[in-house]
């Protein structure tokens, strides 16, 4: 097919090469220039298309994955969607263990893509037999001809971003990037991009966004796993209650923690200020950016790239639902008026 004419053999040929879009209003009063790497432009609407395609094609190339096999994964939703999409095109069965914290929109989307879904309790420890990690591992052990993607502990997760996202950002900024800001979940995105960028210029500052209730920032500072850091939080896809080996802590300079509430408001702000309808962790990344700016991190020479991992449509029953925002206590007298944009004519 002629890709120059925008014609493709299948949807997988559209993975990657996402646009870098200048932020114009949110960062209006900040010194420097600011860009978003908008991963919702992937055909599966998130950065996870990159790792799903890379890991599955590597498994095929090395003979681990054979026709008729089943692909199994633990996922907060996005990786599952991407794996399901790749499985449809390549003809594999797909089983996904998801956390009960994942939005119903995400879970329904997985089913729409033909995956079998197990919903596991969110607030149990990683080694609990009911956790989504344990369930996926057990299914993999029980099922012959199954392949476990294991994104948290798979080095290929880092490689996918080292091979694609990192070079794209370097080229799109013409080597001018000074700061990368990316949410850290498995750590694959930030680690792969960081490894690539640091090879080009070791002075580029790499900032990971972490959640309150996650162990990542403390581990980065002390190299100790502190379980007392762990408590439930609402943002899906960033932070962790374990230490993923897909995170290269040495390649990351700083972790910034953000709250559920401020991240939710930032996600809504991105839509109305930049016209970009992106997910909860994009809001978290912008919230982290605002905090860094307030700390005096940026100068007029700063060229900052913020990764927006997925699309806002996955959060219609959460961040973009006024009812949900109210239930979380995220609307106070200051923020209430933002809600009054729908009028019902009786
Ligand atoms: N945002 C969202 C919505 C995600 O699903 C994920 C993946 N868990 C991330 C951010 C973090 O990306 P990574 O796993 O590459 O660190």
Q: Which atom of ligand 1 is nearest to the CA of 309?
A: 1
Give per-residue pLDDT as tens, 202-228.
Answer: 999 999 999 999 999 999 999 999 999
Give per-residue pLDDT as tens, 80-89.
Answer: 999 999 999 9
Question: Has 300 been annotated as catalytic?
Answer: no
Q: Look up residue 7 and give its DSSP letter.
A: -
E strand or H helix at 70 = strand 70-75
Is the Cβ atom of 241 under 6 angstroms away from ligand 1?
no
Write 56-60 long-range contacts (CB < 8 A, 24+): 56/83, 56/86, 56/87, 56/90, 56/92, 56/149, 58/156, 59/147, 60/90
More confidently predicted of 198 and 236: 198
Q: What is the pLDDT of residue 334?
A: 61
- pLDDT at residue 193 is higher than 90: yes
Is the Cβ atom of 310 under 6 angstroms away from ligand 1?
yes
Q: What is the pLDDT of residue 189?
A: 98
Q: What is the pLDDT of residue 142?
A: 96
Q: How far is CA 258 from the centre of its chain?
A: 15
Tokens of 53: 């395609």
**What stretches of 111-253 adopt beta strand conformation (E)?**
116-120, 146-148, 179-183, 205-211
Output the average pLDDT for the chain: 94
| Percent of residues, the chain, with pLDDT higher than 90 | 87
Is the Cβ atom of 238 under 6 angstroms away from ligand 1?
yes
Q: Which atom of ligand 1 is nearest to the CA of 76?
A: 5
Distance 2 CA to ligand 1 centre (A): 32
* Dihedral in degrees, nearest 10, Cα atoms 170, 171, 177, 181: -50
Q: Which atom of ligand 1 is nearest to the CA of 279?
A: 3
Q: What is the pLDDT of residue 172?
A: 98
Q: What is the pLDDT of residue 126?
A: 83
Give per-residue pLDDT as tens, 156-185.
Answer: 999 999 999 999 999 999 999 999 999 999
Distance 337 CA to ligand 1 centre (A): 31
Q: Say which residue the tokens 């990971």 belong to.
A: 208
Q: What is the pLDDT of residue 333?
A: 57
pLDDT grade for 101, boundaries at 50, 70 and 90:
confident
Q: What is the pLDDT of residue 341?
A: 65
Q: Look up residue 121 and give its DSSP letter.
A: -
Give per-residue pLDDT as tens, 8-42.
Answer: 999 999 999 999 999 999 999 999 999 999 999 99
| Percent of residues, the chain, with pLDDT higher than 70 | 97
Taking each helix axis from N to C end, the angle separating 165-172 and 188-200, rounded to the nearest 10 degrees, works out to 50
- pLDDT at residue 265 is higher than 80: yes
Q: CB of 92 within 8 A of CB of 57? A: no
Tokens of 200: 């080009």
């Amino acid at each position: 097919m002629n890709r120059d004419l925008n014609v493709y053999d299948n949807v997988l040929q559209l993975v990657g090469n996402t646009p870098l879009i200048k932020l114009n209003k949110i960062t209006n009063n900040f010194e420097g220039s600011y860009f978003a790497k908008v991963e919702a432009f992937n055909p599966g609407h998130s950065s996870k298309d990159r790792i799903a395609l890379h890991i599955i094609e590597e498994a095929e190339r090395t003979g681990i994955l054979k026709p008729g096999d089943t692909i199994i994964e633990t996922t907060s939703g996005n990786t599952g969607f991407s794996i399901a999409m790749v499985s449809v095109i390549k003809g594999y069965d797909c089983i996904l263990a998801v956390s009960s914290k994942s939005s119903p929109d995400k879970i329904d989307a997985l089913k729409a893509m033909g995956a079998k879904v197990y919903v596991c309790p969110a607030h149990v420890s990683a080694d609990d037999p009911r956790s989504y990690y344990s369930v996926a591992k057990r299914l993999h052990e029980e099922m012959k001809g199954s392949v476990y993607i294991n994104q948290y502990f798979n080095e290929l997760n880092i490689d996918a971003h080292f091979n694609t996202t990192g070079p794209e950002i370097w080229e799109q900024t013409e080597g001018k990037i000074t700061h990368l800001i990316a949410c850290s979940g498995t750590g694959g995105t930030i680690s792969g991009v960081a490894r690539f960028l640091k090879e080009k210029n070791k002075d580029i500052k790499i900032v990971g966004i972490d959640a309150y209730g996650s162990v990542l920032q403390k581990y980065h500072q002390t190299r100790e796993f502190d379980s007392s850091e762990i408590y439930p939080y609402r943002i899906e896809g960033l932070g962790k209650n374990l230490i993923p080996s897909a995170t290269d802590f040495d390649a990351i300079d700083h972790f910034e923690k953000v709250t559920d509430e401020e991240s939710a408001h930032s996600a809504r702000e991105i839509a109305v200020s930049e016209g970009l309808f992106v997910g909860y962790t994009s809001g978290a990344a912008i919230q982290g950016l605002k905090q860094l700016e307030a700390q005096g991190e940026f100068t007029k020479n700063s060229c900052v790239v913020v990764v927006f991992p997925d699309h806002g449509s996955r959060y219609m029953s959460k961040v973009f639902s006024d009812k949900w925002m109210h239930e979380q206590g995220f609307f106070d007298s200051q923020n209430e008026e933002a809600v009054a944009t729908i009028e019902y004519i009786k």
